[in-house]
Amino acid sequence: MRRVLLCLLWLLRAARGQAAARPNIVLLMADDLGIGDPGCYGNTTLRTPNIDRLAAGGVKLTQHLAASPLCTPSRAAFLTGRYPIRSGMASRSRVGVFLFTASSGGLPPSEITFATLLRDQGYRTALVGKWHLGMHCAHADDFCHHPLSHGFEHFYGLPLTNLRDCKPGAGSVFGTGVRLLVFLPLQLLAVALVTLAALRRLGLLRVPPLAFGLLLAAAVALLALLVAFLHTYRPLNCFLMRGRHVTQQPLSYELLTQRLTAEATRFLRQSAGSPFLLLVSYLQVHTALFSGPDFAGRSRHGAYGDAAEEMDWSVGQILDTLDELGLANNTLVYFTSDQGAHVEEVSLKGEVHGGSNGIYKGGKGNNWEGGIRVPGIVRWPGVLPAGLEVDEPTSNMDIFPTLAGLAGTPLPDDRVIDGRDLMPLLQGTRAVSEHEFLFHYCNFYLNAVRWRPRNSSSVWKALFFTPKFSPEGANGCFPSHVCFCHGPFVTQHHPPLLFDLSRDPRERTPLTPATEPQYPRVLAAVRRAVERHAQTLRPRAPDQMAAGHLVWKPWLQMCCSTWSQGCHCDREPPPPSPGTH
Three-class DSSP labels, 513-568: CCCCCCHHHHHHHHHHHHHHHHHCCCCCCCCCCCHHHHCCCHHHCCCCCCHHHCCC
What are the helix (H) ranges across 34-126? 49-56, 71-80, 114-120
Residues 367, 463 contacting (CB under 8 angstroms): yes
For helices 399-407 and 71-80, the axis angle rounded to 10 degrees is: 30
**549 included as an active-site residue:** no
**71 included as an active-site residue:** yes
Which residues does 16 contact at the CB level (< 8 Å), separation at least 6?
Answer: none
Q: Which of 64, 132, 150, 286 is catalytic?
A: 132
Note the residue count of the chain.
581
Q: How far is CA 398 from CA 150, 209, 424, 462, 523, in A?
A: 18, 67, 12, 22, 26
Q: How far is CA 216 from CA 178, 221, 490, 522, 547, in A?
A: 19, 9, 39, 62, 30
Cis peptide bond upstream of 495, omega within 30: yes
Residues 349, 395 contacting (CB under 8 angstroms): no
Residues of 493-522 as b/e, b for ≥16 C-beta within 10 angstroms?
Answer: eeebbbbbbeeebebeebbeeeebebbeeb
Q: Which of 7, 40, 64, 71 is catalytic?
A: 71
Catalytically active residues are 71, 132
